[in-house]
Amino acid sequence: MYKILIVDDERMIREGIQSVLDWDSLNIDEVFLAESGRQALECLKEHPIDILLTDICMTEMSGLTLTQQCIDSYPNLKVIVLTGYDSFDYARRALQLKVQDFLLKPVDESVLTESIAKQIHEIKKEALEVKKKKESRRALGISDQNQVTAYVRNLLAQRDVSECLDFLQNNYPKVVNQQIVVALILIPVFHEGDNKHASLQKLLNLCMKSVDLKGKGITLLGEDENNLVLI
């Protein structure tokens, strides 16, 4: 569900928009109202607003000024501006601010509904892209870790030493170009019913956080996966 903020210094207009649209069909569960740019900024600080619907011409702060102040603080906020003036200058300024839509008042209910629906579609699309990127980075991280594990295991077993050292030099120069210490952590005996894999993974993650993330070492499971190796 999504949240929208309607900003207009005319009470009849902001409350009229609130009452006339079918918010449930748009998957909007909360509609906030503000009579000024100042109130709008306070609302944005307190609530995770997805869409800002604002009039341009307001006495205290124009909708374009409000939009300008929102750009840096709320980069994912979708903005629709309304104006009663068919002004090219307003439209041009709105485009410069990367406003998502520019509608003339009085706006038709179906046109406004379509504009809001379009913003929600973009929000969903962007969220899906972010999710895909996270999954891609996660898969890449697993692949990298597997590659590091294979090379270091070979090095410790004195297999393909030259190739392993080249790999470490190219990918972990901080490790190779200084005196190193290799630590072997022996895994305690597991009792029947213990989740060995979960316990190993928990210990591995702990070591990786304390060593790998500082860029000063490498952590991996030993070749028989019954111990941990820290370099």
pLDDT tens-digit readout, 2-56: 999 999 999 999 999 999 999 999 999 999 999 999 999 999 999 999 999 998 8
Contact status, residue 66 vs residue 40, Cβ threshold 8 Å:
yes
Closest CA to 33 of 60, 63, 13: 13
- The per-residue pLDDT for 35 is 94
User: What would the pLDDT profile of 50-91 be if each residue is shown by its tens digit?
Assistant: 999 998 888 888 888 888 888 878 989 999 988 876 665 666
- The per-residue pLDDT for 111 is 93
Distance of alpha carbon 58 from alpha carbon 161, whole angstroms: 72
Total-model pTM: 0.61
Q: What is the largest CA-CA distance in the chain?
A: 80
Tokens of 178: 């200084």
For residue 228, pLDDT beyond 90: no
- The per-residue pLDDT for 143 is 67
Distance of alpha carbon 193 from alpha carbon 72, whole angstroms: 53
Burial of 37 (0-12, 13-18, 19+ CB in 10 A): buried
User: What would the pLDDT profile of 80-125 be if each residue is shown by its tens digit?
Assistant: 988 876 665 666 666 667 788 888 888 889 999 999 999 999 999 9
- The per-residue pLDDT for 85 is 65
For residue 141, pLDDT beyond 80: no
Mean pLDDT calculated for residue range 213-230: 74
- The per-residue pLDDT for 149 is 80
Give the three-state DSSP class for 80.
strand
Mean pLDDT calculated for residue range 206-218: 73
